[in-house]
A and B are shown apart, each in its own frame.
Chain A
Amino acid sequence: MVATPIVTLSGVTKNFGTFKALHETDFEIGEGEFVTLLGPSGCGKTTTLRLIGGFELPSSGRIEIAGQDVTKNPPYRRPVNTVFQDYALFPHMTVAENVAYGLTTGGARPDRGDLGRQVGEVLEMVGLAQAGMRRPGALSGGQRQRVAMARALIRRPRVLLLDEPLSALDVKLRETMQVELKRLHRELGITFLMVTHDQTEALALSDRIVVMQQGRICQIGSPGALYDRPETPYVADFIGAANLIEAEFKGLDGGLERLTLQGGTEITRRPGGAGSPGPFRSGQRVRIGLRPERLRPEIETNRFTGQIVETLFHGDRIRIEFTFAGNPTPAFVELGRAMADRMGTLAPGAPITLGVDPAEVMLFAEEASA
C-alpha cells in the first residue's frame, strides 16, 4: 500500500490467445515514485507497461490512473506518456517538431511563440538546446534518447512510462543517462515507471522494484529490501547473485537453525533472516542462498572447505568458482583485490576455506523454487 496511489492495477490479467502474458495482478504506484518492473524477457513486464500506456487492453481487471478509471481508454486519453525502447521518433520531423508534437493537438494548444518557448525549455532540460532543427536520423543514440524524453515530458504527464529506455546505449553512456534520469525524476517530481531486464539499472534508479516472473509479480520492495531480504530463490538469484544450495532443515539448536547441505556440510543460520517466512519443519527439504560477497576467508563460522575450479579476474575483484564436499555445482565467491592478494595462491586446484555469518544465510522453502 502506498500513501497516494497514482496508478492502481486491480485484478488485471492479459491473455494473448491461449498465452497468459499476465496473471491476476494487483499493485499500486505512489505519486512521485520511481518504480521499476524488473524481470527476464517474457515475464510480463512490458505487457504491464503497455496496459498502463493503453497500447493493450486488459483481458480483465481495472486500471486507474490519477483516480480515474482508464481501463478502456485509448492511449490518447490517458495522462501518461511513454519513452519507447527504440525511441520511436518521427523520422520526417525535426527534433523541435518531434518535441512539439504532443502539444499541437487537443484543447489547450499553445500559440506559436509559447510553443517555441516550451520546446526550447524542455530541450534545454534534457541538454539538447542546440539540436532543434536537426532530424532524428542525424542524431546519436544518446541524443535520440534525450529527444524521446523531451517529447514525452513536454506534456507534463502524471506518469512517465519508460520501456527499456537505456538498453540501446553503450555502457558508458548508459551510466551517464542513469544519472540524468535520476536528476529529471527528482527535479520534475513526476512519477516514473520503468521496465528493464537490467538489475543493476533497477537497483541504481528505483525507489521500489517489482520483480516479475512468468506473468506474475514475485516480490515488490525497495532495492535494499529486495537485495537483503529476497523471499524466493528466484529473486535472490535475479537481484544480485546467489549460491543456491539444496539442504535439509534439521531443527533448532541453541537459538540457531541447523541445516545439512547436499554433500554433508553442516551450517547454522540465525532464525528470522532473509528468505521464506518459515517456520520450517525438521527434515524439510529447503534451499539456502549465499551472497558471493558474504563468503569470507576470515569468518570462523559455517566454514566451507573446497577446491578452486576457476579464477576469473575482474579488475577490482576476483571471482572464484570452487567445489566443496561433494556438492555437484560449483559455488562462487567474489573477493576484493586486497583480500585476494593476501590469500596466497588462487590457481585452479588450490584448496580454499571460506566462512559465512549465520545471519547472512538465506533460507527458502523448497516449493517456492522457480
Chain B
Amino acid sequence: MTPARATPLAFSGLFGLPLLWVLLLLVVPYLLMIAVGFWTRQFPLFVPDFQFGNYVQLFSDPQYTTVILRTLKIAVMVTAFALALGYPLAYFLVFTVDSDKLRNLLYMLVIVPLWVSYLLRAYTWKIILGNDGALNSALIALGVIDTPLDAFLYNQTAMVITLTYIFVPFMVMPIYAVLENIPKRLIEASEDLGVGPMRTFWKVIAPLSLGGVVAGATMTFCLAFGDFVAPVLVGGPDGTMVANLLQSQFGAALNWPLGSALATLVLIMVMAILWLSARLDRAGRVAMK
C-alpha cells in the first residue's frame, strides 16, 4: 500500500507561505525590473513602453561599458587572488596539519571574519591603507618612507585587496570541503605507483578538487561582481562598479528604466556564470569511491 498523498489543503499549508514569498519578493520584482528596462524616461516621469533604447545606451555610451568592463576586471582579479590564497591555505589545512584540533581551529579562524559585519571589515581596510593608517605608520617606523603615502587608498588596488580579503573564506570553504573528501589512499596509491608529490598534485588532487574550485570561484566572482561597499569606502574616483552605477540610476540620476536595463544585464551575466559553473561542475564530478 502506498502512503496517502498529501491533501491539497496540507500542501498549501506547508508550501503556501514560501511559494507566496518567492512569488511576491522574487518573481514579481524580477518581472517588474525586466519590464521597466524597456520603458522610456520623460523627465520627471517613466513611461511604460517597449523599446531597446536603454540597452543601446548601455552598450554605446563608454561611461557604462567602462564601468561594466572594470567590474568584470576587478571581479576576475579578486577571484584569481582569492584562489591563489585560498587553495594553498585549504591544501595546507587538509594535508599538512596533522592534528584535528589545530586544523579545526585554523579553519574556524578563516570563517570567523564572516561573523563580523561586512561593512566593518571593509572599513578596516580604509584604516589600514589610509594616509595615517597602519601600513603607512609601519613603513615610516621601519624607515622605508619618510612621509605617509596616499597611494594605497582610493584606487582599484585597494578595492581588489579589500574584496579579496572579504571574500576569501567563500573560496576556502568549498575547496576545503572537496580536499577533505579526497581519500588519502588515492594519494598513497599515486606515490606507490612511482609518481612524486608534484605530479600527484596535478594528476590526482587538482582534478578531484576542481568542483570546489569552480564553486568557490563562482561565489567569489558573483559576490565581487555585485559589490557596492568597497568602491564607496576604498575605491576612489576611478573605482565605480556596476552596483554603484545602478544605485545612482535609481537615486541621483533618476533613470529607473536605464537602471532596470542595467540590472537585467547584470542578472544575465551572473546567470551565464552560474550556468557555466554548473556545466563545469557536472563535467568534473566523479564519485570518490
User: Which residues of B have CB within 8 Å of A348?
Assistant: none
Does B194 lie at the interface of the complex (its beta carbon under 8 Å from any beta carbon of A)? yes
- A90 lies within 8 A of B194 (CB): no
Q: Contacting B185 at CB < 8 Å: which of A84, A92, A151?
A: A84
Distance in angstroms between the alpha carbons of A85 and B288 in the assembled complex? 15
Q: Mark A87-131, 1 if CB is under 8 A from B, else 0.
A: 011111000000001100110000000000000000000000000
Does B113 lie at the interface of the complex (its beta carbon under 8 Å from any beta carbon of A)? no
Q: Contacting B188 at CB < 8 Å: which of A75, A101, A152?
A: A75
Total A-B residue contacts, Cβ distance less than 8 Å: 71
Distance in angstroms between the alpha carbons of A101 and B200 in the assembled complex? 10
Q: Mark B72-91, 1 if CB is under 8 A from A, else 0.
A: 00000000000000000000
Q: Mark B183-205, 1 if CB is under 8 A from A, else 0.
A: 10110111111111001000110
Q: Contacting B192 at CB < 8 Å: which of A75, A86, A135, A137?
A: A75
**Smallest CB separation, B41 vs chain A (Å):** 53
User: Which residues of A have CB within 8 Å of B185?
Assistant: 84, 86, 88
Q: Mark A44-71, 1 if CB is under 8 A from B, else 0.
A: 0000000001110000000000000000
Least CB separation from B185: chain A residue: A88
| Secondary structure of the B contact surface, majority rule | helix
Least CB separation from A154: chain B residue: B193
- A90 lies within 8 A of B191 (CB): no
Q: Contacting A155 at CB < 8 Å: which of B193, B203, B284?
A: B193
User: Which residues of A have CB within 8 Å of B203?
Assistant: 101
Does B207 lie at the interface of the complex (its beta carbon under 8 Å from any beta carbon of A)? yes
**Smallest CB separation, B201 vs chain A (Å):** 13
Does A82 lie at the interface of the complex (its beta carbon under 8 Å from any beta carbon of B)? yes
- B186 lies within 8 A of A90 (CB): yes
- A106 lies within 8 A of B194 (CB): yes
Distance in angstroms between the alpha carbons of A76 and B191 in the assembled complex? 5
Least CB separation from A163: chain B residue: B185
Q: Mark B203-239, 1 if CB is under 8 A from A, else 0.
A: 1100110000000000000000000000000000000
Distance in angstroms between the alpha carbons of A40 and B196 in the assembled complex? 33
Least CB separation from B189: chain A residue: A88
User: Which residues of A have CB within 8 Å of B188?
Assistant: 53, 55, 75, 82, 84, 88
- B199 lies within 8 A of A105 (CB): yes
User: Which residues of B have CB within 8 Å of A53?
Assistant: 188, 192
Within 8 A of A (CB), among B10-44: none
Residues of chain A at interface, number, CB under 8 A:
25
**Smallest CB separation, A275 vs chain B (Å):** 41
Least CB separation from B195: chain A residue: A105
**Smallest CB separation, A37 vs chain B (Å):** 18
User: Which residues of A have CB within 8 Å of B9?
Assistant: none
Does B287 lie at the interface of the complex (its beta carbon under 8 Å from any beta carbon of A)? yes
User: Which residues of B have CB within 8 Å of A92?
Assistant: 207-208, 284, 286
Distance in angstroms between the alpha carbons of A263 and B199 in the assembled complex? 68
- B193 lies within 8 A of A102 (CB): yes
- A88 lies within 8 A of B195 (CB): no
Distance in angstroms between the alpha carbons of A19 and B110 in the assembled complex? 33
Does A191 lie at the interface of the complex (its beta carbon under 8 Å from any beta carbon of B)? no
User: Which residues of A have CB within 8 Å of B287?
Assistant: 91, 137
Within 8 A of A (CB), among B247-289: 284, 286-289
- B189 lies within 8 A of A84 (CB): yes
User: Which residues of B have CB within 8 Å of A76?
Assistant: 191-196
Distance in angstroms between the alpha carbons of A137 and B204 in the assembled complex? 16
Distance in angstroms between the alpha carbons of A90 and B284 in the assembled complex? 13
Least CB separation from A106: chain B residue: B194
Nearest 9 Cβ contacts at the A-B interface: A102-B193, A88-B185, A88-B189, A75-B191, A91-B286, A82-B192, A76-B191, A75-B192, A92-B286
Given contacts A82-B192, A92-B286, 14 further A-B contacts (CB under 8 A): A53-B192, A54-B191, A75-B191, A76-B196, A88-B186, A89-B189, A92-B207, A92-B284, A102-B193, A105-B193, A105-B196, A106-B194, A137-B289, A151-B193
Q: List 10 A-B contacts (CB under 8 A).
A: A54-B191, A55-B192, A74-B196, A76-B193, A80-B192, A89-B189, A90-B186, A90-B190, A92-B207, A105-B199
